[in-house]
Homo-oligomer: A and B are copies of this chain.
Amino acid sequence: MQTRRYHHGDLRAALLTRAERTLREKGPGALSLRELARDLGVSHAAPSRHFKDKQALLDALALAGFERLDEALAGSRAAGETFADRLGGLVRAYVDFALANAELLDLMYTVKHDPAASEELITAAQRLGAMAVELVAEGQRSGEVREGPVDDIGMPVFTTLHGFASFAVSSVLSAEEVESGLDAVIAYMVRGCAPS
Chain A residues with CB under 8 Å of chain B are 26-30, 55, 83, 87, 102-103, 106, 109-111, 113, 115, 118, 122, 125-126, 129, 136, 139, 143-147, 149, 151-153, 155-164, 166-167, 169-173, 177, 181, 184-185, 187-196
**Between-chain CB contacts (< 8 Å), 29 pairs:** A26-B113, A103-B113, A111-B169, A122-B170, A125-B167, A139-B193, A143-B195, A144-B194, A145-B195, A146-B196, A147-B195, A152-B181, A152-B187, A153-B184, A153-B188, A153-B193, A155-B173, A155-B177, A156-B164, A156-B181, A156-B185, A159-B160, A159-B185, A160-B160, A160-B163, A163-B166, A188-B192, A191-B194, A192-B193
CA distance A55 to B111 in the complex (A): 18
Chain copies in complex: 2
Chain B residues, Cβ within 8 Å of A161: 163
Chain B residues, Cβ within 8 Å of A196: 146
